[in-house]
Amino acid sequence: MGCSSCSTGKDGKPSGCNSNGGCSTGGCNRLNTYDWLASLDIQDTDGFDLVEVSFKNGARKAFYHNEPHTRAIIGDMVVVDGGNGYDIGRISLTGELVRLQMKKKKVNEDAPLTSVIRIANERDLERLDEARSKEKRTLIRARAIARTLNLDMKIGDIEFQGDNRKATFFYTADGRVDFRELIRHFAQEFKVKIEMRQIGVRQESARIGGIGSCGRELCCSTWLSDFKSVSTAAARYQNLAINQSKLSGQCGRLKCCLNYELDSYMDAIKDFPKQVEYLKLQNGKASLMKTDIFKRIMYYYVTDEGSKMGKVQTASVDRIKEIKAMNKKGEFPVSLIDFSSYEVEEKVDFDDNLTGVVELPPEEKKKKGRNRNKNRNKGRNNNNNNNNKSGDRKPKPENKKRNDNRNKNKDRKSDSGKNTKRVDNKDKAKDSKPQKQQQKGKNEQNKKPEKQFKKVFAKKGVKKPVNKDRKPNDNKNDNNKK
């Protein structure tokens, strides 16, 4: 995986890698290839003299003849013949795997290829670092010049040759661009030989690099070497929403990863029936909404004839094939769901006597508070009245005691009332107004505990206890003591 911090030092070792200049682990260069034959204990008697050399951390690769006197192996920085001068790169692959790479890239073995001159020394690596340091400021200045000339093009990357004699400008444009005047300005500004090379949008993203929506580095800048055409049909087969912002990558085109799983989807779709977008039912029709390819389920929107609203129903692929065959014969099912596949359990009726359960009537909620006490008192009074009316029945001994207690209480009240009247008549002439007010206050204080007693015991339904041995005049004496 390539990174911007992985640059070469004075001795040719990459500063961002811990493999000490080998780069055999595949952690430094982009588009690295693994030499799996090197790990086998097999010696090749007929060696292949061509090697693969990568430039600018794998941004560009080319094939060269490796002469025996150079003794260069994988990972060595070498000086190669660039036609107009020399260039410096790293050997990325040797042996029989180079032959396979040449077949993949359609390079003929008999084609005229330049050779490796020698292994790079310290002076060569210093000049390479100088060339790489010029690329950023040259790119900024080149874009400014192209903008002043109003050219419809975008300069994406610049690569200087190892001897600083040549610079290659990679640009993208929608059509043909007349850059003859632009080359003159570049030659006067940078004083090197200029080469303009037009590339596609995907090649530009591969050279620049970046992070994809998956969170990893772009496939085109790490391992993907050839670009296949991607169409929106790949997204439709995978039931993906046609959203341009989500389906496009850093280059602005459809993502290359849409083709990765397309073959498995195409194999699964072969078993699905065709021309089943609309199916007829007895009371309406069903229109296809979506399909779950791996679960083999199809979703339909079912509408009745009389109503516009419908329901979503699911059916298996086999069931849809049956309905399609029925529609060809002129038969229409009731629903998409196959009710014959469901098993209905028969209900067994048991007699009431078998269970032995007795059903009780629902309980009535009892009223709370004083109403409950009133109902109780009403029931007791009615029972007493009924007992008094019926001549044949004798009153119960409990009712006799209650009646005797009530009569005694009445006599006491009448006696106490007479005594108070007598006292009031005797003392009328003697007592003055302030004495009468004091007496009223005392009478009210005496009445308060009785009221409190009635409130407390009325809630609980208990009456005030009465002492049978107490005389009627004792009430008067107690009040006077208080």
Q: What digits encode the pLDDT tens for the residues 341-357?
A: 655 555 555 554 555 55
Residue matched to tokens 């009731």? 334
CATH 3.40.50 fits 129-219, yes or no: no
Confidence of residue 427 (pLDDT cuts 50, 70, 90): very low
Domain coordinates in residue numbering, the chain:
1-120, 129-219, 228-269, 278-341
Q: Lowest mean pLDDT: which of 80-89, 177-186, 232-241, 416-425?
A: 416-425
- pLDDT for the residue numbered 87: 92
Confidence of residue 194 (pLDDT cuts 50, 70, 90): very high
pTM of the model: 0.58
Is pLDDT above 70 for 420? no
Average pLDDT, the chain: 75
By CB neighbour count within 10 A (0-12 exposed, 13-18 middle, 19+ buried), where does 72 fall? buried
- pLDDT for the residue numbered 222: 85
What are the tokens at 122?
């310290």
Tell me the average pLDDT across 71-80: 90
Is pLDDT above 90 for 258? yes
pLDDT tens-place string over residues 283-293 = 888 888 888 88
Tell me the average pLDDT across 158-185: 91
Please say whether the beta carbons of 186 and 142 come within 8 A. yes
Is pLDDT above 60 for 418? no
- pLDDT for the residue numbered 166: 92
- pLDDT for the residue numbered 340: 65
pLDDT tens-place string over residues 37-65 = 767 777 665 678 899 999 988 888 999 99
Tell me the average pLDDT across 379-396: 52
Backbone angles phi, psi at 371, to 5 degrees: -60, -35
Please say whether the beta carbons of 240 and 255 come within 8 A. no
Confidence of residue 18 (pLDDT cuts 50, 70, 90): very low
Report which of residues 46 and 444 the model is more confident about. 46
By CB neighbour count within 10 A (0-12 exposed, 13-18 middle, 19+ buried), where does 322 fall? middle
Is pLDDT above 80 for 366? no
Report which of residues 359 and 372 the model is more confident about. 359
Question: How far are the Cα atoms of 45, 68, 111, 189, 414 from residue 63, in angstroms, in the given order?
Answer: 21, 16, 10, 32, 136
Backbone angles phi, psi at 302, to 5 degrees: -100, 125
Q: Lowest mean pLDDT: which of 16-25, 322-331, 465-474?
A: 16-25
Report which of residues 284 and 88 the model is more confident about. 88
Is pLDDT above 80 for 453? no
- pLDDT for the residue numbered 60: 87
- pLDDT for the residue numbered 227: 86
